[in-house]
Amino acid sequence: MSKATRLGWGASLLGILLVAAIACEDSAVIAPSDGSITVTLNPTAVTVDPNVPANAEKSSDVRALVLDKDGKPVENSIVYFSSTGGRLVQPGSSPEVSLDSAATDSQGIARATLVVTAEDADEVDVTALSGALTNTATLTKNVVGEQRPPTASLTIEPCGDPCAGEVNRVVTFKSTSTDPNDSDVLTFRWSIVSTGASGSEQFVTQSTRFSRTYTSAQDLAVSLEVSDDPAALSSPTTPGIWDDSAAKDYKICANQAPVAVAATGTLPTGAYPRAVPVDGSGSSDPDDDPLTFTWACGNGTTATGRTTFCNYTAAGSFTITLTVNDNPSGCPKKSGIDTVGVTLAPVP
């Protein structure tokens, strides 16, 4: 074959291929907007084991079915695939060939393969898009043989509003840490840094709780580290042995209750209604905290203030109750209560 003949034959072949490509592109159809697309996965759940090479990754067959409004398959419609994890490849390709689109066959089905590993999320969404149609299916992934670290968390009781305890009362510290591997034994390293003379401490334990009683007011900075390593108990200072940590500030309060003293002024006479002056000025607080005063007048009405009035519309004997609340900084409030009786005579 001469050089000219070869060149002519090559040009003819290139022209045939170009025409075929154009014809193939022109033959693609757009999915009808009033049709439907459905994505299915087989299987819908897989289990991977990163420690076993044969099971280190698993695959699921992806099928997108495109139908027209009459429920008939749409052939040669381009379907675009995407996923929130894993990788999408051409079915049966070896080595793998990435895939982001495929055309539907005579049954209206476009195919792909989703491959996931232990590094992927526990749920991977696969979405198919064709024209204005879209649909999503979810693959659930489980992992076995994988050592996943615990999560540290702690609580301190009692914990009111604000979260604080009191001197000479039992305080309980509790680990509420969680671990995804149920068979793991967790080890805890507690650290308490206190503003008190002897409240600071650090220790390692496998017990989930312990209690302390503090005899003086102080602030505590509490931290907890957690490990699922069996060596953590015997070698707690080994670098990298602690997986996670949590911290909480806590206050030990020595707040004392205020002393309430209720008194009345000169009782009014004459027509009703009568305003009886009440006075809580004799009240005090051992800690010099700010105080608030609430009066229950004994007839269903109330009043507020250190000095104020109780109003009455008829004669009778009434018990007036004064409640004094303190407002300590960062500590629970306490109350003091006192009563005083009044008798109001009828109008002469």
Give all strands of the β-sheet with 57-67 in edge-to-edge order: 36-42, 57-67, 109-117, 87-89
pTM as predicted: 0.56
Distances 65 to 37, 68, 89, 237 between C-alpha atoms, Å:
5, 10, 18, 58
The pLDDT tens digits for 159-174 are 998 999 999 999 999 9
**Residues whose CB is less than 8 angstroms from the CB of residue 292 and which lie 6 or more positions away in sequence, other chains included:** 304, 324, 325, 327
Better pLDDT: 81 or 8: 81
Counts of helices then strands in the chain (DSSP H, E): 1, 24
Of 294, 277, 273, 308, the C-alpha closest to 336 is: 294
CA 47/CA 61 separation, integer angstroms: 15
User: What distance lies between CA 30 and its chain's CA centroid?
Assistant: 44
Which one-letter amino acid corresponds to residue 27?
S
**CA nearest to 117, candidates 39, 52, 180, 62:** 52
pLDDT digit string, tens, across residues 30-79: 999 999 999 999 999 999 988 788 888 999 999 999 999 999 999 999 99
Distance CA 124, CA 141 (A): 8
Task: Note the pLDDT tens digit of each residue in 124-178.
Answer: 999 999 999 999 999 999 888 767 899 999 999 999 989 999 999 999 999 999 9
Q: Give the model confidence (pLDDT) of 92-119 as tens digits.
A: 999 999 999 999 999 999 999 999 998 8
Peptide bond into 32 cis (omega under 30): no
What is the rounded CA–CA span in Å between residue 346 and residue 348? Answer: 6
Neighbour tally for 278: CB within 10 Å = 23
